[in-house]
Amino acid sequence: MSQDLDGRLTAALAERDRLSALAQKIQGRKEAAAKALDELRAEIVAKNLDPDSLDETIEKLEVAYEQAVAKLEQEVKAARESLTPYLEKIR
């Protein structure tokens, strides 16, 4: 019976040590992720953006981009229509 208890104790201690090492590894990853997040926030702030409203800023930029492309397409179409009579004479 003593050998059985010794084996269980050994197994429990080994599991404890394994879990302790795993917890330290997880803590290290957490600290690295927190550092990376802080660096990212600092980079965003350095670009004069608010990290807490970044989604809103991205949406505004997407809308502005879409409007700019639509305007360019209209201007190209207008230019093509303006040039059409001259292009027909060249052909």
pLDDT at position 88 is 79
Question: Is residue 19 predicted with pLDDT exceeding 80?
Answer: yes
Q: The pTM is what?
A: 0.56
Angle 21-27-30 from CA coordinates, rounded to 5°: 145
pLDDT at position 86 is 82
Dig out the tokens for 30 from the structure: 């957490």
pLDDT, one tens digit per residue, over 22-65 is 999 999 999 999 999 999 999 999 998 888 898 998 999 999 99
Give the DSSP letter of residue 47. Answer: T
pLDDT band at 1 (very low <50, low <70, confident <90, very high): low
Domain ranges of the chain: 1-48, 50-91
Give Dmax over CA atoms of the chain in angstroms: 107
Dig out the tokens for 75 from the structure: 């201007």
